[in-house]
Amino acid sequence: MATTDSTSRPSSAASLQDITLDDRPSAAMTPDGEQFILQLINLLELDDDSSEARSIALDLIAQGRQRLTHYSGDIVEDTYKTLMSNDHDDLLTLLGKAIRHEWTTREPAWLDLFLNEKKVKEPEIYERIINLVAEHGCTWMRGCRPLALVILFQYKVFESFDIQTNGKFGEIWCKVTEHGRQGCLDAPALERDDEPLLLALKEFYRDQVTQRLKSVNISEAKRIAVLDLAIDLAARNGWDGLKHEQLQKKLPANAFTQLNRGGAADQVPILWKDQAHHKTQYLVHRKTQLLCRMQPTLLPSSSESKTLSGLV
């Protein structure tokens, strides 16, 4: 793999969420991301001058074809039935391309290289995973698309039932985020620092470790100096990685103790915690983490998830 850069991939094309519709009639004259929005609006046979049509297109990119059921009353009945038919893949194909474009422009550069490599080496699995995401969107990826995608490829997860609350994806997610890369005993031995699973775990831990370091009484310069090391140790060993002597040697004793106060179950994706519309997922994730600490393969059932949803 050519790079381990964890920053977002630079691109002249704006994110789909940031592009503003203009009055040019041809999609070919607009940025790449805008083409997908206009093509979706056209495929849905909606008014291309309508802000509501644009909103529907963006919602489908985020939540997949199944989200179209929410808009059945806004679309011509025959068109709706055709697009939702299992033997009609125009909408799935277009959503797959739009979502793939989003990953190229918004996610780390190494992920784009990883996906391109998988497309060449494992084309059938690549297509199945792209179709899975096109069907169900990205909202089930628990706030970290790089890790979710690497798990899908690493563990060959590509069925709809696998991404349900008590499915295979949840079990694997629980395991890798609880124990880090070293806890993935069923994955190939870690042989290089640019391995996709390790890089993905760094993305998962990055915001959480950053927030945890901000709560420690140290200077900003010291915080910046130890950040990459702390992220790497957490990605390799889970939250126990922050107890490593490498980090202990770089922090005052009180700061090191403060950093390690609390357990892994207290650590949750900052993205979920901060966004009100993800409150249900946050509650489910909290319960999942607690259950995983007792039994690695135990996850909330559908009924438990509904109970948690009722609390919101």
Task: Name the DSSP letter for residue 190.
Answer: P
Q: pLDDT digits over 255-266, tens only?
A: 999 999 854 445
pLDDT of residue 262: 58
pLDDT at 307: 37
Residue 175: per-residue pLDDT: 87
Report the pLDDT value the prediction gives residue 31, as an integer from 0 to 100.
63
How does DSSP classify residue 49? Answer: T
Q: In which band, very low, low, confident or very high, does the pLDDT at 158 lie, cut at 50, 70 and 90?
A: confident
For residue 130, what pLDDT is reported?
A: 94
Instruction: Return phi, psi of residue 244, to 5°.
Output: -65, 145
Q: List pLDDT tens digits, range 20-63.
A: 333 333 333 346 778 899 999 999 999 988 899 999 999 999 99
Q: Give strand pairing partners of 108.
A: 8
Asked if 6 and 194 count as a contact pair (C-beta separation under 8 A), the reply is: no
Cβ atoms of 98 and 16 closer than 8 Å: yes
pLDDT value at position 234? 96
- Would you give the distance in Å from CA 225 to the centre of its chain? 27
What pLDDT score does 48 carry?
Answer: 82
Q: Which two tokens stand for residue 1?
A: 């793999």
Quickly tell me which residue has 């940031």 as its tokens: 18
CA neighbours within 13 Å on the CB side: how many for 295? 4
The rounded distance, in Å, linking the Cα atoms of 100 and 70 is: 23
List, for residues 168-208, the tens digit of each pLDDT value. 899 899 889 988 998 887 777 888 889 999 999 999 999 99
pLDDT for 166 equals 75
CB 180 within 8 A of CB 264: no
Measured CA to CA, the distance from residue 236 to residue 215 in angstroms comes to 22
pLDDT at 240 over 80: yes
Q: Which of 111, 98, 104 is nearest to 137 (CA)?
A: 98
Is pLDDT of 252 > 90? yes
DSSP result, 75-109: S-HHHHHHHH-TT--HHHHHHHHHHHHHHHHHSBH
Cα within 13 Å of Cα(27), Cβ side: 14
Looking at residue 111, its pLDDT comes to 95
CA 281 to each of CA 22, 57, 76, 82, 147: distance values in angstroms, whole numbers, following the listed order = 36, 24, 33, 32, 17
Indicate if the alpha-carbon torsion angle 131, 137, 139, 144 is positive or negative: positive
Residues 268-310 pLDDT 10s: 444 443 343 344 444 444 444 444 444 333 333 333 333 333 4
Dihedral, CA of residue 224, residue 230, residue 232 and residue 234, to nearest 10: -150
Is the model's pLDDT at 245 over the cut of 50? yes
Return the pLDDT at 58.
93
Q: Work out the widest C-alpha separation in the chain, in whole angstroms.
A: 68
- pLDDT digit string, tens, across residues 102-155: 898 889 999 999 999 999 999 999 999 999 999 999 889 999 999 999 999 999
